[in-house]
Homo-oligomer: A and B are copies of this chain.
């Protein structure tokens, strides 16, 4: 059970120590112990940080991630999570994926379309309409 110090964790997780301290202040992670003043982390914090990074990529705020993952304990291996909430998150991510798929199609179209003006290209118009519809539907949600 070797413990990592903040610089090790930072290096492995690819975030700055200041970010780790910030995460701690939000209750997202916790140090196992201190050696003097220095935080000592269990390697399991890296899993938690991976989940945090993943959640951020999915467009969730740190606040939301904290709520989803549950409180950081000293023994972080066993984090308690709300399974329903997580499933909801997964659904949300799926919706996000559908929107992004549309975006990628629209971008590729724009990049290759030979029409003189996109505004006159019917398939561009159609995609824009779809996109607007989507963003109208849950513009507040992500």
Contact = CB atoms under 8 A, between A and B. Distances in A.
Given A77-B117, A100-B97, A131 B14 contact: no
Contacts of A14: 132, 135-136, 139
Nearest to A113: B83
Contacts of A136: 14
Nearest to A129: B50
Interface residues of A, number: 49
A87 to B, nearest CB: 5
B86 A50 contact: no
Contact of A87 (B47, B101, B106, B108): B108
Contact of A47 (B44, B77, B128): B128
A90 B119 contact: no
Contact of A93 (B46, B53, B100, B110): B100
B104 A93 contact: yes
Contact of A57 (B53, B86, B93, B135): B135
B86 A111 contact: yes
B50 A131 contact: yes
Interface in A91-142: 93-94, 96-97, 99-104, 106-108, 110-112, 116-119, 128, 131-132, 135-136, 139, 142
7 contacts: A54-B107, A57-B99, A78-B116, A81-B110, A87-B111, A93-B107, A100-B100
